[in-house]
Chain A
Amino acid sequence: MLNGEKITKTILFLASLSIILIASGMVLSLMEGTIPAFNKFGLKFITSTDWNPTEGKESYGALPFIVGTVVTSVIAIIICLPLAFSTSLFIGEIYRGKKIASFIGTMVDMLAGIPSIVYGLWGFYVLRPWIVEMGFNDQGYGVFTAGLILAIMVIPYATSISVEMIKMVQNDLKEAAYSLGATRKDVVFNVILPNARSGIFTSYILAFGRALGETMAVTMLIGNSNIIPKSLFDTGNTMASLIANQFGEADGLKLSSLVAIALLLFVITGLINGLGKMLIKKI
């Protein structure tokens, strides 16, 4: 009991140390696993479009998957934008405080709760046939289909943060505009948007960060081909879907290349999320 307080504080400190060890251990392990691939390909790994596991001619490059990841996530954000924006205005402003707003809010929360693999299944059995029916391509797989399912998956993240930002706009500013005879549309575009702009922007950055790392649903819909997609309805692979797809049969240089891609994915999502957190702290 003499030093009870010190012991407690030490335990708390040690616990906090564990997360630092886990995080730095992760980075070290990823870097270590990358070494064989790095020794073989160097920085060309990032710019090479080859993914050839044939023994003797093994050659791996990450560019198609970097492109696939960015393209699907950008498609997702473009589709997500009008939907999440409207929904956040619905919840945070137009029907704020009404039952219908909390109902829509609950539905959006439920969207966030759906596991990735269930989105993938639904995309495979429902969304993909629609894409085929509309004649975009024969199989329905591709970066657009993957981007579409990603959009549905990240809408809840963009929406919930946007709602907070919209609600943060001071009520007396909105009232001042209404007292001058402004309509709701005027208030949205002249008062809410200018004042919540950076927050709403940040919500899309964070949603983008989410989209980058999504695995299962994308794996099931993107078509899994190791080439740079040339059009919206081309098949491709993202960094995450490649790892999920190829990990089972990987060892040696191929495994190392997958780890290198994981490291890249870790760095890219880290940068995007870091940017988002930085922006949010400024608000």
Chain B
Amino acid sequence: MDEINVEIKDAVLEIKNVSVAYNKGNYAVTNVSAAIKRNRITAIMGPSGCGKSTLLRAINRMHDLYPNIVTEGQILLNGADAAKMSTMMLRRKIGMVFQRPNPFPNMSIADNVIAGYKLNGISLKKSEKEEIIEKSLQDVALWKEVKDSLNQKGTFLSGGQQQRLCIARALAFQPEVILLDEPTSSLDPISTKKIEELLIELKEQYSIILVTHNMSQAARISDYSMFMYLGELVEYGKTKEMFINPKDKRTDEYLTGKFS
């Protein structure tokens, strides 16, 4: 893991000895440490139940919502302790995209994009609003498709479009990090491809962490990969190196499809 430690200078996030337990003592993630590189895509892979989503949700403290989940360890965002920030502030700096597209059904497409501002009670001037909506939708390559129906509810959009809308919603706040929890698992291959291309473009401006159960997706778009197994971070390194020459036997078995 030496090569990763060297890169701490460029790290946007530092995960230090993080463990997450459901219902006291029942650990889903044990003692994970890793530095996440700025402006790169980092994939977290592993078989289902390995704790990859749990780790992801520890980063923006989603676990705080559930009283029976305990997070231990430390996470630093740009060197500052995430636990000491208010969750509201932390989550504005770390956007999140969920497994299933979940635009707010009671809001129009435009309102969905600026939902973060609305929910946080930040009032925007009309011009600012339009600018943010247009830029965010353009960033996710949805602008052309929806620019004439901005004031309609987003329910008529396809699954892939809805998911891009949800990414736009996360981008509108200009977060530093975007967390994606299996964002393409409910989408068709064409929509998946579009999202993947989008993520590669987005890493110019954002640091991206992507949880995926699909190792070929990790291979296609990620720069760094983590392999998790039974709550443990087994291996973490450059994606290419890990796929060509895995260091751990379990990683090798996973990548060669011995278990899934």
Contacts and interface: CB of A to CB of B under 8 A. Distances in A.
- Complex contact flag A–B (Cβ < 8 Å): yes
A176 B102 contact: yes
A177 B166 CA distance: 11
Interface stretch (B42-50, B93-101, B125-133, B211-219): B93-101
Contact of B92 (A173, A176, A181, A191): A181
A183 B88 contact: yes
Main secondary structure, interface of A, reads helix
A251 interface: no
Contact of B98 (A176, A186, A191): A176
Interface string B90-131: 111001101110101110000000011011110000000000
Nearest to A100: B67
Contacts of A181: 87-92, 116, 119-120, 173
Interface string A156-195: 0000000000000010110111111111001100110011
A191 B116 CA distance: 12
A97 interface: yes
A98 interface: yes
A182 B105 contact: no
A182 B68 contact: no
Contacts, number: 78
Contact of B115 (A98, A175, A177, A195): A177
A175 B170 contact: no
A178 B88 CA distance: 8
Contacts of A97: 66-68
B100 A172 contact: yes
Contacts of B67: 97-98
Contact of B60 (A177, A179, A183): A179
A179 B179 CA distance: 10
Interface band, chain B: 20 to 34
Contacts of A173: 102, 104-105
Nearest to B88: A181
Interface in B53-82: 60, 62, 65-68
Contact of A178 (B91, B105, B118): B91
B120 A182 contact: yes
A135 to B, nearest CB: 42
B119 to A, nearest CB: 4
Contact of B119 (A98, A170, A172, A180): A180
B40 interface: no
Interface in A170-222: 170, 172-173, 175-183, 186-187, 190-191, 194-195
20 contacts: A97-B66, A97-B68, A173-B104, A176-B96, A176-B98, A176-B166, A177-B119, A178-B87, A179-B91, A179-B96, A180-B92, A180-B119, A181-B116, A181-B119, A182-B119, A186-B119, A187-B119, A191-B104, A194-B106, A195-B106
Interface of B: 60, 62, 65-68, 87-92, 95-96, 98-100, 102, 104-106, 115-116, 118-121, 166, 169-170, 173, 179
Given A175-B65, A181-B90, A187-B119, 11 more contacts: A97-B67, A172-B100, A175-B98, A176-B102, A180-B92, A180-B116, A181-B89, A181-B120, A182-B116, A182-B119, A182-B120
